[in-house]
Chains A and B, each alone.
Chain A
């Protein structure tokens, strides 16, 4: 019955969007998303405030038996994240697609909006499904919808390639998930998440966990399955990247948390914790280093999503280790950090991708070294992007710091209490290094794009985007500021979620985290107030003195020009020299030779490709070529050799038949 309703709703959606006039298609989609969010948010907020879990519908699935759609605190939190990001994305898409309305056919636009709504609803279904058939159905719906969304610019060859790669990889993940659910079903007769403890009780924990980790990890983009992210995000329209990167990859995280929730044996939790922690460390470091060396705005953002997934996994790993040793303080801090970081990342990453969308729609490029000085032509975008940059660098006074601070607190508590000290120290080093390199990556991004002088005349003539898009970007900014400035209130969202894992989490949060987070909020406010005071003081002093404008000091060189500005490529050069083993560089054009006294115009383009890419694309081709080359040695072209081969063959047949082998 439920599936019939789903089909009817889908049909109604298609009719509504396809029949709407071209310019109001967006408002139909927006209306549906807002209504769905409201419908989901009301029970979700209730559940988060402490009401018991809500069951929406119970049904009989064709494959795995009884299932239900229900909202527990974890689903409720994810529903809110999806809803807010969905509203912002749909609102943003109006301005972004306005430029395409006369280029694309009406059906094309309708298809895009239908998929957008379908994807948002499918993500909501994913987080409320109790498991098994309905979960897989919603998961597949989400994949298909996002595939269509990526394909928006399908006439570009690289978009087609990226979308197909995405589709293939997602289905490898899907098969793993099916295998996971089928294994669970065959062991204990149920494929619901809630019945996983019975499967685990029969000693198949690691098998099922690893299957789910790989299946969900494909979506979340854990190393080495992250290769679809940096291809798909630059190919997709920016609002699609925003929701995919901000929210969709979190459904992978959600799945892992969901499975983790039902593991209760300490020794298994310990192993699982170590696995998740290691995955997090490798993913985080790989993501951030690759992010820092990229030359494309959206690629940097895509790799930084991988890094943030790594950070979340580090938090989850520490939380699992804390739970395995029965230490509620470690587990509460780390889990709260991981959940907060999930929420935070959805906010600032959508904001960053919206910003990238503004850049692309006004200047038609995402190549980092073409920009420069955009802060002057697009001041509002520049300010919003700066907020997101500070947030993603995890700096006080914004929200990124709160999540990472809680994860750090989990690790420090672990070190303090002498539990899993070396694992926690490993996480600590990794997180600190990630934090440092994120600063490098995002100062590079921000300063190359928004600061300095324009490197291109398109950039110099760009105009600010419409207010609708600015309004859409305002939604995540509100969240960023609230969580950053009053974290002691914001973390309450996670309290009831954590109670599902650690029964006394709420009291731990009240006793330990409450005071600490209040202080953090004070520090954040102090920084802001002090900055304002100092700035005002300086302006007052300067008001009576001569303040002049002049050219930038060229260190004695009298003819500097715009092309001599420090580029993003040169900014990350130091890190590149340290990370050559992770990347494969492709260079087009050539550098200026020392012998050229009067250099002619040169074209130089360098790309830093991920070495793991080869794991999925080129390696088997290369293997084939190498084997071919070996075999080709036999083709000598001399008749006597060929006679020799025939002789060897005959002798071999003769010997084998004597020995009765053939």
Chain B
């Protein structure tokens, strides 16, 4: 029962975040904005369409969206919602999670290159580089959690006795911040990537699926939401673990934390120049190493 509820809540989170982002941007820009569920209507529309495939592409191009979505679904099945329990959970599932998401990335990069378009090649090359650079940040983020909580599975990591512990709170908030930053990169949002840009030359994620339409595009979009939900939920879990470790607290937190922060950043900031992106991502990695080190020092202090 808890597993089922966990999975359903993850889907709710995945479906809501984009809505919150859109509403936040509309409110901050003083527009009326689109309905909260507009993005879901759009995808439903896509699911009803046929398809046009490029002559250049091979069968790989048609399988890739399925791999992308399958990997994202498996990733979602590994994420616990606060005190609930995920379907897939074992020692080391954090490693498996990172590599499953990498599988998704490889599928979409190869599909983009399969079209033989130089624009999609640009997106693929950027995605590959940024993906490579963000990987250490993700791993070290997980290592910080594992070290501080003494477990190697996401479901156990956030289990914590309810008494207030300053060190624990500090580390958890820092990690939550780290995972929100990683979400910006992985979800392809400002300041790394701008999904609304009108120029293919400066896109990253959007330009990779230029040749997709219909069901394939819908699969890619759904997988994108699921991926975002994974990171949002990890960040929310980290915060919830310090004060109120219940699903009814963590779920709205995940939606609002990520939705609002992405929405606010997108309304107030311009995207980076592409050459600045590597610096931005390496900074996140450096930050993660710093958080790990702080966590290590704080933990040593506890033991003494």
Contacts and interface: CB of A to CB of B under 8 A. Distances in A.
- Most chain-A Cβ atoms within 10 A of its Cβ — which of B54, B132, B285? B132
Contact of A553 (B67, B135, B211): B211
A528 to B, nearest CB: 8
A535 interface: yes
B51 A547 contact: yes
Interface string A420-452: 011001001101110111011001101110011
Nearest to A435: B135
B146 A416 contact: yes
Q: Mostly helix, strand, loop or mixed at chain A's interface?
A: helix
Interface in B125-160: 125-126, 128-129, 131-136, 138-140, 142-143, 146-147, 150-152
B43 interface: no
Contact of B143 (A373, A412, A560): A412
Contacts of A516: 90-92
Given A433-B135, A451-B114, A572 B292 contact: no
Contact of A566 (B49, B52, B92, B122): B122
A534 B128 contact: no
A181 interface: no
Interface residues of B, number: 85
Contact of B50 (A376, A515, A547): A547
Contacts of A429: 136, 139-140, 285, 289
A562 B116 CA distance: 8
Contacts of B77: 526
Contact of A565 (B49, B53, B121, B133): B121
A524 to B, nearest CB: 9
A527 interface: yes
B135 A444 contact: no
A453 interface: yes
A27 interface: no
Contacts of B102: 393, 395, 435-436, 439
B182 to A, nearest CB: 13
B176 interface: no
Contacts of A512: 91
A373 B56 contact: yes
A332 B248 CA distance: 41
Given A405-B92, A555-B210, A538 B215 contact: yes
A554 interface: yes
B129 A574 contact: yes
Contacts of B136: 428-429, 432-433, 436
Contacts of B63: 531, 535
Contacts of A555: 117, 119, 200, 210
B50 A546 contact: yes
Interface in A493-510: none
Nearest to B109: A443
A542 B50 contact: yes
Given A523-B74, A574-B126, A552 B121 contact: no
A638 interface: no
Contact of B58 (A376, A440, A535): A376
Contacts of B116: 372-373, 451-453, 552, 562, 565
B267 interface: no
A601 interface: no
Interface string A520-551: 10110011001110110010011001111111
B284 interface: no
Interface in A573-626: 573-575, 578
A323 interface: no
A519 B152 CA distance: 14
Interface string A50-85: 000000000000000000000000000000000000
Interface in A376-406: 376, 382, 386, 390, 393-396, 401, 404-405
Contact of A428 (B53, B55, B140, B216): B140
B152 A412 contact: yes
B73 A550 contact: no
Interface stretch (B2-10, B17-25, B93-101, B231-239): B93-101
A373 to B, nearest CB: 7
Contacts of A535: 62-63, 66
Nearest to A547: B51
B106 to A, nearest CB: 6
Contacts of A435: 99, 102, 135
Interface string B42-76: 00000101111111111010110111011101100
A416 B103 contact: no
B152 to A, nearest CB: 5
Contact of B53 (A401, A433, A549): A549
B113 interface: yes
A548 B138 contact: no
Contacts of B99: 394-396, 401, 404-405, 435
Interface string B73-94: 1100100000000001011111
A453 B118 CA distance: 12
A577 B103 CA distance: 26
A191 to B, nearest CB: 42
A553 B117 contact: yes
A256 interface: no
Nearest to B100: A396
A345 B199 CA distance: 42
Given A440-B132, A551-B54, A562-B116, A412 B92 contact: yes
A439 B132 contact: yes
Nearest to A515: B90
Interface of B: 47, 49-58, 60, 62-63, 65-67, 69-71, 73-74, 77, 88, 90-96, 98-100, 102-103, 105-106, 109-110, 113-122, 124-126, 128-129, 131-136, 138-140, 142-143, 146-147, 150-152, 200, 210-211, 214-216, 219, 278, 285, 289, 292, 296, 299, 303
18 contacts: A373-B56, A393-B102, A429-B289, A432-B98, A432-B139, A439-B109, A443-B113, A451-B113, A515-B91, A519-B96, A522-B88, A526-B70, A530-B73, A542-B215, A547-B53, A548-B52, A560-B117, A566-B113
Interface of A: 372-373, 375-376, 382, 386, 390, 393-396, 401, 404-405, 408-409, 411-413, 415-416, 418, 421-422, 425, 428-429, 431-433, 435-437, 439-440, 443-444, 446-448, 451-453, 512, 515-516, 519-520, 522-523, 526-527, 530-532, 534-535, 538, 541-542, 545-555, 560, 562, 564-566, 570-575, 578
Given A444-B125, A565-B118, 6 more contacts: A401-B99, A421-B296, A440-B132, A447-B110, A554-B119, A560-B118
